[in-house]
Amino acid sequence: MDIADLPLREDLRGRSPYGAPQLDVAVRLNTNENSFPLPKQLVDDIAEAVRDAAATLNRYPDREAAALRTDLAAYLGHGLSERQVWPANGSNEILQQVLQAFGGPGRVALGFTPSYSVHPIIATGTGTGWIDGTRAGDFTLSAENAVAAVKEHQPDVVFLCSPNNPTGTALDLDVVEAVLAVARGMVVVDEAYAEFARTGTKSALTLLPGHPRLVVTRTMSKAFGMAGLRLGYLVADPAVIDALHLVRLPYHLSALTQAAARVALAHGPDLLATVELIKAQRDRIIAELPRLGLRSVPSDANFVLFGGFADAGATWRALLDEGVLIRDVGLPGWLRVTAGTEPETTAFLDALEKVATA
């Protein structure tokens, strides 16, 4: 039996699934997780909260996740209310719900490549057409280019990613505002890495008043170090959340997830203390690369896109042989590395020095 023998949807035939390698190596810097170990007190508190929630598992969870939404709104600040916040199993599920409600067959989404590779995958999964807008050679996206693409393609959903994965740089809010001014559809700003942005970077959350078609997505997978929890969320006008209720699965967010996420938010200051340490390692990577004859893209995220390779794939494999797993994002000449702990960053830089000068 082979996938080709199944009555699969025509538009899925021949496609590849998302699949960053999950390899058991000493230094894993390929999926932009937070490498820092979780505080013991947090682990104990999660275990206790999950234990309490377990006693209620005969009942469906709160389908509105009211308490969690209140906590998320409080974390974000900006005068946001719980009615503007909506959580799901990772921001990937949030993005899927957005496309289920606002994309779908006969509709199109526009993104600006290179960007988060899952945006087009979720578009395909929801039967939404995908249009690749382009970036300048230095991976920046100007308001002028973004507006031109929106005017040309008239998308139902526009994806902006800030800080952008895999390039790392945050967008100026004037780009978001310019897109909002001309887009007739929804405008999603994927801010999965917002907490790592350099000082002075403004979040698209500040644009929510007066922009009911703006959706800002966030996650606890990165800065909070909770990738395994699967908790992402969006912030938008409450009417957008009403629309998502039409497509979300009933009781999509487990009572255990809700309980654990609330504990993690309560430990927010402790968890987020790692952000400054990670930013320091990111900036250290950027500072060290020129010494190795390599260049990088300015980063507001917990990773660095760096290049100057004749054969990036060969360097990726050579680093893996040294026990360091990073990401080949498919951009010729470039590789992406997550900023980890200080020892991990040292291991990466030492291995890179060895293989880059070999």
**CA 311 distance to own-chain centroid:** 27
Say whether residue 161 binds ligand PMP (CB under 6 A).
Answer: yes
Q: Pairing mode, if any, of strands 108-113 and 157-161?
A: parallel
Dist CA 157 CA 139 (whole Å) = 21
Q: How many residues contact ligand PMP, by CB under 6 A?
A: 13
Mention every residue, 6+ apart, whose C-beta is less than 8 A from residue 259.
46, 49, 50, 52, 53
Say whether residue 91 binds ligand PMP (CB under 6 A).
Answer: yes
Among 71, 82, 156, 190, binds ligand PMP (CB under 6 A): 190
Residue 172 Cβ, how far from ligand PMP at the closest point, in Å?
Answer: 18
Say whether residue 285 binds ligand PMP (CB under 6 A).
Answer: no
**Closer residue to ligand PMP in complex, CB, 87/155:** 87
The span of 66-74, 90-98, 135-143, 177-185 binding ligand PMP (CB under 6 A) equals 90-98
3-state DSSP assignment of residue 59: coil
Residue 191 Cβ, how far from ligand PMP at the closest point, in Å?
Answer: 8
**Closer residue to ligand PMP in complex, CB, 32/274:** 32
Say whether residue 128 binds ligand PMP (CB under 6 A).
Answer: no
Say whether residue 32 binds ligand PMP (CB under 6 A).
Answer: yes
Residue 194 Cβ, how far from ligand PMP at the closest point, in Å?
Answer: 10
Among 101, 146, 186, 192, binds ligand PMP (CB under 6 A): 192
H or E element that contains 88: strand 85-88
The span of 47-55, 86-94, 129-137, 144-152 binding ligand PMP (CB under 6 A) equals 86-94
The span of 36-44, 48-56, 88-96, 275-283 binding ligand PMP (CB under 6 A) equals 88-96
**Closer residue to ligand PMP in complex, CB, 274/355:** 274
Residue-level length of the chain:
358
Say whether residue 300 binds ligand PMP (CB under 6 A).
Answer: no
Say whether residue 103 binds ligand PMP (CB under 6 A).
Answer: no
The span of 84-92, 133-141, 208-216, 258-266 binding ligand PMP (CB under 6 A) equals 84-92
Quickly count: other Cβ atoms within 10 Å of residue 300's Cβ. 21
Say whether residue 92 binds ligand PMP (CB under 6 A).
Answer: yes
Say whether residue 90 binds ligand PMP (CB under 6 A).
Answer: yes
For residue 279, which of 354, 333, 201, 331 has the smallest C-alpha distance?
A: 201
- 308-343 b/e with 16+ CB inside 10 Å = b? bbeebeebbebbbebebbbbbbebeebbbbbbbbee
Interaxial angle between packed helices 90-102 and 118-125, expressed in degrees from 0 to 180 and rounded to the nearest 10: 50
Place of tokens 């190795």: 292
Say whether residue 165 binds ligand PMP (CB under 6 A).
Answer: yes
Q: Exposed, middle or buried by CB within 10 Å (0-12, 13-18, 19+), for 352? A: buried
The span of 89-97, 152-160, 235-243, 347-355 binding ligand PMP (CB under 6 A) equals 89-97
**Closer residue to ligand PMP in complex, CB, 301/355:** 301
Contact 91, 219 (CB under 8 A): yes
Instruction: Looking at residues 203 to 262 of the shown chain, list those that interact with ligand PMP (rule: CB under 6 A).
Output: 219, 221, 227, 232
Dist CA 246 CA 205 (whole Å) = 24
Dist CA 53 CA 254 (whole Å) = 10
Q: Which residues bind ligand PMP (CB under 6 A)?
A: 32, 90-92, 116, 161, 165, 190, 192, 219, 221, 227, 232
